[in-house]
């Protein structure tokens, strides 16, 4: 018999979690104004809100933390991280930041001006937020295949070159300074971008004399998909694939809280000294001095180690197999999810599960609330609430995908937890026809409203 798959680690430290009753959850949810971000973590049994900063570090990372150098300037931890970035990602210059959006804030302070256009593949919400905050416009050039959740397509994160060409043809090219590619494409379902597409977009960017920026939160998962799905990469190591991916980029922004498996941290890396010098001014102003910029020495040490082990095949294989395990169960039961299963999360298709709820009543949010009520599982809405209002018309941006993301933290839950999640979803799915009304917005922030929105259950 062939041996089944098993995790490439054993567990050394645990954090207890508690179940609750449906009555308790109903009260907590009401008090949370039907916004799952407002729940206390102890009110959640299985927390799939995000895989960001929620992973379990290795014993090597914890021991690296003990050697953290907390010097204000020139700390050895900074040089450890600088070496890891050079060796694994290939960039000469980098600026540490406290997390990914801080990297965006610093970089965009240099690169984005009022009226600019930033094409890319389904910009992540903080990326779009930082662009729109500067009165610039993010244009989504993701391939159409990404928006058909049932379609099996290996690289649904890809950029459509024709859409890119159109953006350049229809706009003043002086307003476009860079193209941003997010790997994997979080918003469209944790879907990867192929090496071929990275190569093509890089060629296109060069032909237009603009930079290519890679938003890198889940870069190692992207490399795993290239290895397992793209012709010519099966025998390459993840590190070799990662090196090639970044050979096409001018700049990367990084949220280290995902594939680098630390609880806090980020950076910007680049090859241009000129850009580094310009960004340094903002880094010092917003984040901290150049050799720590928002991170403690111990965190930089853990990150250097995390970059190394996070790009080992076994680490990513273990992770992706768990996400697939959950996704495949749902597919077997006929529950509509974004296919193929993404790298960091399973995305439930709320338009298909709750089509009878008017879209104005936020189907994905309604489904996420039902799942919490069912079993204390916290996912997150990736739908019209997150899509926010159009900055000019202030209309709700309906029409995109209505998904509930169940993001799996790295090395945190077992497949028994995944079984509970799967059955809870099945139970909600089986009683979907009884769910007839959704939610309405009572209060919202002018930008990135999903974090603090207050809702009423109809
Ligand atoms: N880019 C992508 C693709 C992301 O997924 C995130 C964060 C960021 C940038 C911003 O990084 O959180 O470190 O400031 N994503 C988290 C998530 C929050 O849940 O997907 P950050």
Ligand 1 nearest-atom number relative to CA 184: 3
258 in catalytic set: yes
Examine the domain organization and report whether 204 and 247 are in the same domain: yes
Listing DSSP states for 330-363 in one string gives HHHTT--B-SS--SSEEEEEHHHHSTTS-GGG-H
pLDDT tens-digit readout, 423-455:
999 999 999 999 999 999 999 999 889 999 999
Structural domain range at position 37: 22-51+313-457
CA distance 452 to 318: 34
Q: Do the beta carbons of residue 25 and residue 270 sit within 8 Å?
A: no
Residue 64 has pLDDT above 90, yes or no: yes
Examine the domain organization and report whether 149 and 226 are in the same domain: yes
Find all residues with CB under 8 Å of 18, minimum gap 6, and list them.
42, 45
Listing DSSP states for 16-27 in one string gives ------HHHHHH
Tell me the best of 126, 263, 323, 407 to mutate to test the pocket of ligand 1, counting ligand atoms within 8 Å of each CB and taking the most. Answer: 126
Tell me which H or E stretch contains 440: strand 439-443
Kindly give the residue spans of alpha helices, DSSP state H, lying in 296-414. 297-310, 313-332, 350-353, 363-375, 384-387
Cα-to-centroid distance, 418 and ligand 1 (Å): 23
Cα-to-centroid distance, 66 and ligand 1 (Å): 27
| CATH number of the structural domain spanning residue 293 | 3.40.640.10
pLDDT tens-digit readout, 224-237:
999 999 999 999 99
Tokens 């197999």 locate to: 321
**Phi/psi at 441 (nearest 5 deg)?**
-85, 130
Domain boundary among 310, 341, 363: 310
217 in catalytic set: yes
**Phi/psi at 43 (nearest 5 deg)?**
-90, 5
Cα-trace Rg, the chain: 21
Find all residues with CB under 8 Å of 165, minimum gap 6, and list them.
204
Q: What is the mean pLDDT of residues 359-387?
A: 97
Examine the domain organization and report whether 344 and 377 are in the same domain: yes
Per residue, the 3-state secondary structure of 194-217, as one string, reads CHHHHHHHHHHHHHCCCEEEEECC
Find all residues with CB under 8 Å of 104, minimum gap 6, and list them.
126, 127, 130, 215, 253
Cα-to-centroid distance, 216 and ligand 1 (Å): 9
Cα–Cα distances in angstroms (integers) from residue 230 to residues 153, 195, 234, 408, in the given order: 12, 8, 8, 24
Examine the domain organization and report whether 33 and 95 are in the same domain: no
Examine the domain organization and report whether 234 and 144 are in the same domain: yes
Examine the domain organization and report whether 148 and 207 are in the same domain: yes
Catalytic residue (choose from 47, 69, 160, 215): 215
- Whether 424 maps to a domain, the answer reads yes
Catalytic residue (choose from 9, 72, 398, 451): 72
Q: What is the mean pLDDT of residues 271-292?
A: 98
Domain boundary among 257, 280, 310: 310
Domain boundary among 283, 310, 337: 310
SS3 of 97, please? strand
Catalytic residue (choose from 45, 93, 94, 124): 124
- Whether 4 maps to a domain, the answer reads no
Cα–Cα distances in angstroms (integers) from residue 334 to residues 133, 331, 347, 426, in the given order: 41, 5, 14, 9
Protein residue closest via CA to atom 11 of ligand 1 = 100
Cα-to-centroid distance, 128 and ligand 1 (Å): 11
Q: Cα–chain-centroid distance for residue 282?
A: 24
Cα-to-centroid distance, 217 and ligand 1 (Å): 7
- Whether 398 maps to a domain, the answer reads yes
Examine the domain organization and report whether 165 and 234 are in the same domain: yes
| CATH number of the structural domain spanning residue 372 | 3.90.1150.10
- Whether 204 maps to a domain, the answer reads yes
pLDDT tens-digit readout, 384-406:
999 889 888 999 999 888 999 99
pLDDT tens-digit readout, 309-365:
999 999 999 999 999 999 999 999 999 999 999 999 999 999 999 999 999 999 999
Examine the domain organization and report whether 172 and 298 are in the same domain: yes
Cα-to-centroid distance, 306 and ligand 1 (Å): 17
Tell me the best of 37, 251, 255 to mutate to test the pocket of ligand 1, counting ligand atoms within 8 Å of each CB and taking the most. Answer: 255
Examine the domain organization and report whether 31 and 123 are in the same domain: no
Examine the domain organization and report whether 349 and 270 are in the same domain: no
pLDDT tens-digit readout, 77-88:
999 999 999 999
Cα-to-centroid distance, 125 and ligand 1 (Å): 8
Q: What is the mean pLDDT of residues 291-297?
A: 97
Examine the domain organization and report whether 255 and 318 are in the same domain: no
Q: Do the beta carbons of residue 318 and residue 219 sit within 8 Å?
A: no
Which residues sit with their C-beta closer than 6 Å to ligand 1? Answer: 50, 52, 99-101, 124, 126-127, 182, 186, 215, 217, 255, 257, 266
Protein residue closest via CA to atom 8 of ligand 1 = 100
The model's pTM is 0.95
Protein residue closest via CA to atom 21 of ligand 1 = 100
Cα-to-centroid distance, 303 and ligand 1 (Å): 16
Range 412-441 burial, b when 16+ CB lie within 10 A, else e: bbebebbebbbebbbebbeebeebeebbeb
pLDDT tens-digit readout, 12-36:
999 999 999 999 999 999 999 999 9
| pLDDT value of position 296 | 98
| pLDDT value of position 31 | 98
Protein residue closest via CA to atom 19 of ligand 1 = 50
Q: Which has the closest alpha carbon to 344: 365, 332, 364, 327?
A: 327
Q: Which has the closest alpha carbon to 357: 367, 344, 368?
A: 367
Examine the domain organization and report whether 135 and 247 are in the same domain: yes
| pLDDT value of position 413 | 98
215 in catalytic set: yes
């Amino acid at each position: 018999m062939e041996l089944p798959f098993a995790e490439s680690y054993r567990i050394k430290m645990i954090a207890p979690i508690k179940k609750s009753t449906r009555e308790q959850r109903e009260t907590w949810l009401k008090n949370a104004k039907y916004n799952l971000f407002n729940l206390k973590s102890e009110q959640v049994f299985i927390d799939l809100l995000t895989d960001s900063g929620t992973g379990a570090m290795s014993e090597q990372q914890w021991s690296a933390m003990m050697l953290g150098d907390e010097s204000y300037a020139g700390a050895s931890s900074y040089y450890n991280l600088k070496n890891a970035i050079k060796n694994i990602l290939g960039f000469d210059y980098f600026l540490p930041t406290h997390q990914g959006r801080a990297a965006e804030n610093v970089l965009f302070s240099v690169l984005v001006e009022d009226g600019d256009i930033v094409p890319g593949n389904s910009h992540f919400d903080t990326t779009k937020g930082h662009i729109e905050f500067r009165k610039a416009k993010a244009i989504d050039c993701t391939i159409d295949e990404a928006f058909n959740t049932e379609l099996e397509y290996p690289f649904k994160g890809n950029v459509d070159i024709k859409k890119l060409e159109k953006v350049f043809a229809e706009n003043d090219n002086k307003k476009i300074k860079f193209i941003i590619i997010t790997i994997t494409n979080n918003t469209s379902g944790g879907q990867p971008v192929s090496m071929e597409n990275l190569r093509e977009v890089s060629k296109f960017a060069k032909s237009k004399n603009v930079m290519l920026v890679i938003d890198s939160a889940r870069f190692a998962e992207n490399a795993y998909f290239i290895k397992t799905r793209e012709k010519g990469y099966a025998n390459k190591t993840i590190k070799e694939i990662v090196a090639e991916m970044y050979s096409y980029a001018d700049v990367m922004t990084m949220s280290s809280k995902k594939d680098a498996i630390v609880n806090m941290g980020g950076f910007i890396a680049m090859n241009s000294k000129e850009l580094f010098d310009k960004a340094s001014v903002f880094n010092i102003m917003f984040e901290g001095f150049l050799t720590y910029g928002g991170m403690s020495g111990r965190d930089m040490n853990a990150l250097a180690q995390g970059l190394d082990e996070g790009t080992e095949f076994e680490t990513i294989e273990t992770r992706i197999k768990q996400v697939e395990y959950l996704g495949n169960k749902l597919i077997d039961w006929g529950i509509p999810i974004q296919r193929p299963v993404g790298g960091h999360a399973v995305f439930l298709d709320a338009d298909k599960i709750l089509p009878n709820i008017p879209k104005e009543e936020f189907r994905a949010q309604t489904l996420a609330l039902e799942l919490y009520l069912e079993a204390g599982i916290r996912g997150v809405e990736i739908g019209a609430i997150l899509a926010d209002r159009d900055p000019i018309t202030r209309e709700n941006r309906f029409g995109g995908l209505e998904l509930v993301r169940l993001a799996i933290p790295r090395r945190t839950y077992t497949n028994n937890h995944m079984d509970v999640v799967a059955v809870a979803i099945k139970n909600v799915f089986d009683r979907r026809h009884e769910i007839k009304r959704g939610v309405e917005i009572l209060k919202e922030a002018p930008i990135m409203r999903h974090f603090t929105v207050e809702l009423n259950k109809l």
